[in-house]
Structure formats: C-alpha cells, structure tokens
Amino acid sequence: MVTNTISVSETPQVLYALRRADDALILGHRLSECCGHAPTLEEDMALANIGLDLIGQARALYALAALREPSLEGGRANTEDTYAYLRDVGQYRNLLLCELPNGDFGRIIMRQFLYSAFIDPYWRAMMKSSDVQLAAIAEKAEKETAYHLRYTSEWVIRLGDGTPKSHDRMQAALEFLWSYTGEMFDTDEAEAMLQAEGMIIDASAIHDGWRTTVQTILDRATLTLPQSAWMQKGGRSGRHSEHLGFLLAEMQQLPRSEPGAVW
C-alpha cells in the first residue's frame, strides 16, 4: 500500500458520489495532458476548459461525499483533496473509459463525445433527484456537459466526414473505445438502493437515448457503429487498467511527497 493512503467508508451514498467524481477527475486530468498539444490554439483552450469543467464537477461531488461519509476512527474526516490525492489505485471507482491514454486528437474527441452523450442526459435527469444537493450539482453540471456534447459532436462530424485519413482515424478511435461504453450503464446493489429512494436514476434508462444520439452523429460523420456486444468492465469496483496507476503517480506526486503541505 502506498504511504499516506486513506481509508474510506463506502456507504451507498459515498460510493455513488465517488464514482461520479472519479469519472470527472480522471477524465479532466486526461484532458489537462492535452494542454499545449492540440492542433490549434483554439482547440487547446477548448479542451483545457472542458477539463476544468470536469474537475469542478469532481470537487462538488467529492465535497458531497465528505459530508455524507461517517466519521472515521479518531474522528478523522476525508476532504475533496484526500479523496483525489490520497487514495490508491484500487480505491478509485471511475469508468475504464476515462482513464485510457489520450492517443491522437481523433481519439480524444471520440472518447469525450461518447462520454458526453451519456453524462449530459444523465445530469439532466438527475436534476429531478429527491436529494437537494445532488439535484443542484446536476443542474450546474448539465449546463457544462451540454456544451461538451455540442463541441465534440461538431468535431466528430468534421473529422469523420473530412479527408480519408481523418475518417480512418475516427473510425479506428470508435472501434477502440466502443467496448468501454457499456460500463456507463451498469448498476449494482448499492445504486439500486439509492434508485429505490428516488435519489438517483437508473443509468440504463438513458441507454436508448444515448444510442440514438451517437448513431445520429455517426451517420452525419459517415462512421460505422461497431457491432460487437462485448464490453469491458471493472472500473466501478476498483479493477483498473495499468494506465490509471501511471496517471495517479503523476497526479499525486506532490501530495504524496510532501504530506500536509499547504500554500
């Protein structure tokens, strides 16, 4: 176990908040890696801003998790920073899709499109949550994810229906990422409890709408939807690819090397 790793009491409410926060933090960090590497200055700024939006959403969800988590031994309490920087790989609950390396610009855009096409209607539906704090987080997040979906949709169409080379790259990106999309709609016993209380929605309920959105954009982009039904899983229960370990080693380097540092 890595030095300074925290313990977390994963009640259903805490686990739910950490899953959504981890999605946003890890994907936001991946987008931060694009800074200075996008094909144009405008897209460099756009990807950085999307990353900042996601990290802001992560902060709100981590803060909610901290409020809902029972006090730990000795009266200690976790914070948004300890959740982000002092958990080990197996304690993260993000989708495998979010931790995948960036690859080329086409793959970055396609990954963000597939995720945004899911998370935008998800947050829109969550605005009706019986939990006032979750509903407020959803309302703010949806304004941001609506832009993320619009931005990436435009780029998927532009690159897919562009040159033969850009088309082939977008098709390759889609085929590589497709098997990671099924995990977005999975549920388990912990989330089923919250669904029964009206706190969260059943993600599978938006699958058909997501599929329609994706198909509509891919048709305009002259891209072909993969037919494979086999899907990768594991991120929600802490089983991750080797890529997350390298990402966390970089992201957590300062808090791990200088415990308790403030500035």
The answer to whether 211 and 29 have CB atoms below 8 angstroms apart is: no
Are the C-beta atoms of residues 130 and 197 closer than 8 Å to each other?
Answer: yes
* The pLDDT value given to residue 69: 94
What is the b/e burial string over 194-205, where b = at least 16 CB atoms within 10 angstroms of the residue's CB? beeeebbbebee
- Which domains are present in the chain? 12-257 (1.20.1260.10)
Give pLDDT, residue 3. Answer: 54
DSSP secondary structure string, 115-154? HHHHHHHHHHHHTT-SSHHHHHHHHHHHHHHHHHHHHHHH
Lowest mean pLDDT among 64-68, 136-140, 152-156, 251-255: 251-255
Q: Using CB atoms within 10 A of its CB, is residue 175 exposed (0-12), middle (13-18) or buried (19+)? A: middle
Q: Which residue has the tokens 């540092």?
A: 261
Q: What is the pTM of this model?
A: 0.95
Question: How far from the centroid of its chain's Cα atoms is residue 96's Cα?
Answer: 9
